[in-house]
Structure 1
């Protein structure tokens, strides 16, 4: 693990049986007990994730609202104080710089949570586009640690450690200055698994104690530490994108099926003109869901064929732990994107039949 970045919890992984891998330059656990067991824990009880590798950027100043509104594709004018929004940052050509979560603390103070592998790139892009805006942009990633507790029992478990009524935190809202086990935290309710749950932000000095306390108090309810493997299967089953798979600098939000988070009627944002043009001309490619007709498991990068022509590639594929089917997402020629269309996935030099199906493989269970 030499040369890899480490979260404050790195030395705690071994204690819980963590198997460490290189993820975007970070030494992180792919699993503890096992991907299937961890996946099922989140679906049935609860799981605790160390997501301290995620990046955080603070935008403060008189033009904070104007700057963020110009930076992102979604419309932040709808936000109240302490409300949260999912959105994307695009290049001028419509390709995606990153997808992110925006927290509005007030009109002059925003908190952006970005992907670990994109921290430096995103920060540089923000600085490059701040001319004309009276804002201070600060990368505070190294001073913030983040945990996420997800699953049907997440609220009941976390409630044992705080006097704040967590039921008062609505979906895509946050509360600041909450004490969790006596540790000051920012707590939000969004999630990346399709289950109810919370994100807990605190300082790097306190997070080890917080991690241990949550796991200890949740033990009797079946709470498990969860690694990157189950995080990926969980988000994939409910059609939540992963940057580098369903999103990239060469894949637009519209191609990814995320048009809901792109407000083309907004006055302006970086990449708007290109996306307006793409929508007007019609999408040549789309992300689709598919189900294998044989036992072969599709994997990221596998080629997709139809009528003897290569029409795209798999972005994510698994044997789904929840629905017990071999399923995947693929970016393919729009001509073959209709539900029920037969396509073929090239698995070990053999073309395996698959069918285009609804991307919502598993029903989300958020507490709204």
Structure 2
């Protein structure tokens, strides 16, 4: 049989990962580091110090033109026409039936200019969806920027101190979900107070040619390189959903607890279906589950039972290093109160699990 080799995309920091002996995996067609020294150690670094992640595989799409605010308001569940430049907002992109095409953060760069950050695996379909609707708007540009830009996440309680040294700015007053243009070693970059770990942190978007110098400068300040493995344990402890696991086009935002990111006071693609769903009520809900580590570690796509009846399955699961227990998100067809017990089928054994308040972990002040 002829063997076929798939060429993976690489980021501008690929050589750095190789030099650091990062363990590389195929992540949505990208060669990305899953870990360096180890997931547990990298997890602790972000909770206690400062870790850096190469997240350049994620999308960057610029939307600009006089109609950009109206365009985004028509397509996204959240409100963007009234959002001020210098701010960012989380939102969902939905189909006409309310199914989630992707979730993303949108930065408003100027009065008629925005930057969208879709997920790596959704990048092409998001571009296709935006371009499909853009034809109805005059003078609107949808410009893919992933190839010429890079993105580094700087996360952890020491991130502010480190970013202040690199930028020479006082960042104490920079609030969550805000962003600004700064200079790092003469390189113009966008710095946002955003992240996906449940800790304080920043994300730095630069020209790809400048990424290596920024990465090395961050390491020089004591930041520890971290892989996608710890990024997943961190986000799950923080109760943050992952597109493709906890939500997809077969799931609507109401089912997974994202109603607060829907502005029902405006019209957008999918709003009629979501309004009808809100009126009728949803038939399944996303819950957090906690499992004693002695009983096993939950993973995605494990069946969940209540009183012997199959009621759904886990969508994500892992060992939570900060808590010392197994945790999972699960989409279930029954209503439960926090503290109720269900059973998760872990490798053929039904293990008692407790419905938990989300997030599982809240960062220390």
Partner of 2:295, secondary structure, is: coil
- 1:77 and 1:71 map into 2 onto residues whose CA distance is 12
Matched, 1:276 2:275: yes
Deviations 1:219-278 (A, max 9, x none): xxxx21010000001111111111011111111111110111011122x11110111111
Residue 290 of structure 2 is matched in structure 1 by 291
- 1:24 and 1:364 map into 2 onto residues whose CA distance is 29
Contact 1:19 1:32 in 2 (8 A): yes
Q: How well do the aligned residues superpose, as a CA RMSD in angstroms?
A: 1.4
Partner of 1:291, secondary structure, is: strand
The Cα of 1:2 is off from its aligned counterpart by: 4.8
Deviations 1:67-121 (A, max 9, x none): 0011100112341111100011001111100000111122311111110111110
Residue 214 of structure 2 is matched in structure 1 by 210
Contact 1:194 1:365 in 2 (8 A): no
Contact 2:295 2:351 in 1 (8 A): no
Partner of 1:171, secondary structure, is: coil
Residue 140 of structure 1 is matched in structure 2 by 145
Matched, 1:76 2:80: yes
Matched, 1:175 2:180: yes
Indicate which of 74, 81, 88 corresponds to 2:92: 88
Which stretches of structure 1, 4 residues or longer, exceed 6 Å deviation after superposition? Answer: none
Residue 199 of structure 1 is matched in structure 2 by 203
Indicate which of 24, 37, 40 corresponds to 2:41: 37
Partner of 2:157, secondary structure, is: coil
Residue 247 of structure 2 is matched in structure 1 by 247
Indicate which of 3, 15, 20 corresponds to 2:19: 15
TM-score by length of 1: 0.94
Partner of 1:142, secondary structure, is: coil
Partner of 1:54, secondary structure, is: coil
Contact 2:88 2:179 in 1 (8 A): yes
Matched, 1:236 2:240: no
Unaligned ranges ≥5, structure 2: none
Residue 326 of structure 2 is matched in structure 1 by 326
Residue 122 of structure 2 is matched in structure 1 by 118
Contact 2:304 2:344 in 1 (8 A): yes
Matched, 1:158 2:163: yes
The Cα of 1:338 is off from its aligned counterpart by: 2.4
- 1:33 and 1:110 map into 2 onto residues whose CA distance is 37
Indicate which of 101, 109, 131 corresponds to 1:105: 109
- 1:299 and 1:336 map into 2 onto residues whose CA distance is 22
Partner of 1:97, secondary structure, is: strand
Compared with structure 1, are the counterparts of its residues 291 and 116 closer, same or farther at alpha carbon in structure 2 (3 Å cutoff)? same
Unaligned ranges ≥5, structure 1: none
The Cα of 1:170 is off from its aligned counterpart by: 2.0
TM-score by length of 2: 0.95
Deviations 1:207-226 (A, max 9, x none): 011111110122xxxx2101
- 1:188 and 1:153 map into 2 onto residues whose CA distance is 16
Partner of 1:27, secondary structure, is: strand
